[in-house]
């Protein structure tokens, strides 16, 4: 399971399947479709990342984070690294949500100690009026090339997840010019010039639809929309500026491709209070952060959607016994029902001891089989 044309066998669980006959392990996809599974599948947000020494070595070789993202071979390499260590049930494309606004000409760069920044944030009506959907294949071809290379390298071992940021989350970075403590600039626009905000969201929605469908066509077998900042909105604004646009995306995605179903997941961090509304937009799975009890969430949505989550990422700093206990708590809360994909409630911390991840993955598999 190596990039660049090399292959090796992946020692994963072999599960019979009719829908995905080329997959040795389709447990993740069947769980998203609320079908019976032998155990609860598990993958982790940011599972390829700085907590792994091998990732840090590859990133150093790349010279920068953007170089790493824009090299299909290196993106493939780091995507596969956590699968070589752990018995994870899915791979997720290594990329960044800000590749889309970068392709729109905003000039993405990463300042040391500051995180992502844009050279040309959207601050005036003229710039917003000129915003256009990028040509995915010319401007973001490095991403679809990475998807194709990863899919070949996986060789049917586990499914590959593609992803994008939500329109509202992307707009936050596009208007603020980077991260923010209070999102004052984007909220000022939202309340004072909602027409400009909707213009940004409209163009970004079209871009995300094209981007995710291109990932599916390149080989992604499921897709996820990350709405990292939707949870900081008031309820009415969440429905207007975030959820309605995600609903349009889900409706426009390929539901099947190359003879297989392509399930979708929507994750709004801090969105547990809107769970029923999110479940109504047509996605197959809803991601939960760690602040929502997953058992109560299942009772609220019934069998309408699968649920993904939702261990506190900080619990991975506990003892092996504590990690196992927390994992079992999440599994027991959900109960012996179809439709659970185990994950963290947000991305894994860069400081997480790698050996603790193995405790988590092994516990999820062994406890859920019981």
Predicted confidence (pLDDT) per residue in 185-199, tens digit: 999 999 999 999 999
Q: What is the pLDDT of residue 1?
A: 58
In a domain, 264, yes or no: yes
In a domain, 1, yes or no: no
Q: Give the number of domains in the chain.
A: 1
Tokens of 325: 């206990």
Out of 30, 39, 86, 96, the active site residue is 96
Out of 86, 173, 211, 238, the active site residue is 173
Average pLDDT value for residue range 24-31: 97
Domain of residue 269, CATH code:
3.20.20.210
Average pLDDT of the chain?
A: 94
Tell me how far apart the alpha carbons of residues 270 and 226 are, in angstroms, rounded to a whole number.
Answer: 12
Q: With the C-alpha atoms ordered 322, 326, 327, 332, is the resulting torsion angle positive or negative? A: positive
In a domain, 319, yes or no: yes
In a domain, 156, yes or no: yes
More confident residue, 5 or 272: 272
**Is 46 a residue of the active site?**
yes
In a domain, 11, yes or no: no
Of the candidates 297, 299, 293, the residue with the CA atom closest to the CA atom of residue 312: 293
Q: What is the pLDDT of residue 16?
A: 35
Reported confidence tier of residue 111, pLDDT bands at 50, 70, 90: confident
**Is 59 a residue of the active site?**
yes
What confidence tens digit (pLDDT) does each residue in 58-92 have?
999 999 999 999 999 999 999 999 999 999 999 99
In a domain, 9, yes or no: no
To which residue do tokens 């690294």 refer?
Answer: 81
Average pLDDT value for residue range 260-268: 98
Q: What is the pLDDT of residue 152?
A: 97
Q: What does residue 287 show for φ and ψ, rounded to 5 degrees?
A: -85, 145
Question: Are 195 and 236 contacting, i.e. CB atoms less than 8 angstroms apart?
Answer: no
Q: What is the pLDDT of residue 4?
A: 64
Is the confidence at residue 272, as pLDDT, over 90?
A: yes
What confidence tens digit (pLDDT) does each residue in 83-97 have?
999 999 999 999 999
Q: What is the pLDDT of residue 282?
A: 98
Tell me how far apart the alpha carbons of residues 253 and 255 are, in angstroms, rounded to a whole number.
Answer: 6
Tell me how far apart the alpha carbons of residues 307 and 272 are, in angstroms, rounded to a whole number.
Answer: 11
Of the candidates 228, 201, 223, the residue with the CA atom closest to the CA atom of residue 212: 223
Tell me how far apart the alpha carbons of residues 23 and 63 are, in angstroms, rounded to a whole number.
Answer: 35
In a domain, 127, yes or no: yes
> What residues make up the domain containing 122?
27-369
Reported confidence tier of residue 115, pLDDT bands at 50, 70, 90: confident
Is the confidence at residue 17, as pLDDT, over 80?
A: no
Tokens of 264: 């979708």
CA atoms within 13 A on the CB side of 327: 29
Q: What does residue 118 show for φ and ψ, rounded to 5 degrees?
A: -115, 135
**Is 173 a residue of the active site?**
yes
Of the candidates 155, 156, 28, 162, the residue with the CA atom closest to the CA atom of residue 93: 162
Of the candidates 143, 148, 178, the residue with the CA atom closest to the CA atom of residue 160: 148
Is the confidence at residue 2, as pLDDT, over 70?
A: no
In a domain, 15, yes or no: no
Tell me how far apart the alpha carbons of residues 289 and 297 are, in angstroms, rounded to a whole number.
Answer: 11
Out of 46, 151, 248, 298, the active site residue is 46
Is the confidence at residue 12, as pLDDT, over 90?
A: no
**Is 298 a residue of the active site?**
no
Structure letter (DSSP) for residue 165: E
Out of 59, 123, 152, 300, the active site residue is 59
**Is 211 a residue of the active site?**
no
């Amino acid at each position: 399971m190596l990039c660049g044309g090399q292959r090796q066998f992946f020692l994963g669980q072999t599960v019979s399947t009719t829908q995905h006959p080329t997959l040795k392990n389709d447990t993740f996809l069947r769980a998203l479709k609320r079908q019976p599974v032998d155990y609860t599948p598990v993958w982790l947000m940011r599972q390829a990342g700085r907590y792994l020494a091998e990732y840090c070595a590859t990133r150093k070789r790349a010279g920068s984070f953007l170089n790493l993202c824009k090299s299909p071979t290196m993106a493939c390499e780091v995507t596969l690294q956590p699968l070589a260590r752990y018995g994870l049930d899915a791979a997720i494309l290594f990329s960044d949500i800000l590749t889309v606004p970068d392709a729109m000409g905003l000039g993405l760069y990463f300042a040391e100690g500051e995180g992502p920044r844009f050279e040309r944030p959207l601050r005036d009506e003229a710039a917003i009026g000129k915003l256009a959907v990028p040509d995915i294949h010319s401007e973001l071809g490095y991403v679809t090339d990475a998807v194709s290379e990863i899919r070949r390298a996986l060789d049917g071992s586990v499914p590959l997840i593609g992803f994008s940021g939500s329109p509202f989350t992307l707009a936050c970075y596009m208007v603020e010019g980077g991260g923010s403590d209070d999102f004052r600039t984007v909220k000022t626009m939202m309340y004072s010039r909602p027409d400009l905000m909707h213009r940004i969201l409209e163009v970004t929605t079209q871009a995300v639809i094209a981007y995710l469908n291109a990932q599916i066509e390149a080989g992604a077998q499921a897709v996820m929309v990350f709405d990292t900042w939707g949870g900081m909105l008031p309820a009415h604004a969440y429905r207007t500026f975030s959820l309605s646009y995600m609903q349009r995306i889900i409706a426009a995605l390929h539901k099947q491709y190359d003879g297989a179903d392509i399930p979708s997941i929507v994750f709004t961090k801090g969105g547990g209070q809107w769970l029923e509304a999110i479940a109504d937009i047509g996605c197959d799975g809803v991601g939960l952060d760690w602040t929502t009890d997953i058992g109560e969430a299942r009772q609220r949505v019934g069998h309408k959607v699968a649920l993904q989550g939702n261990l506190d990422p900080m619990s991975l700093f506990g003892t092996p016994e504590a990690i196992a206990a927390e994992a079992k708590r999440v599994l027991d809360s959900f109960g012996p029902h179809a439709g659970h994909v185990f994950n963290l409630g947000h991305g894994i911390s860069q400081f997480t001891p790698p050996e603790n991840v193995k405790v988590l993955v092994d516990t999820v598999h062994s406890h859920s089989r019981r």
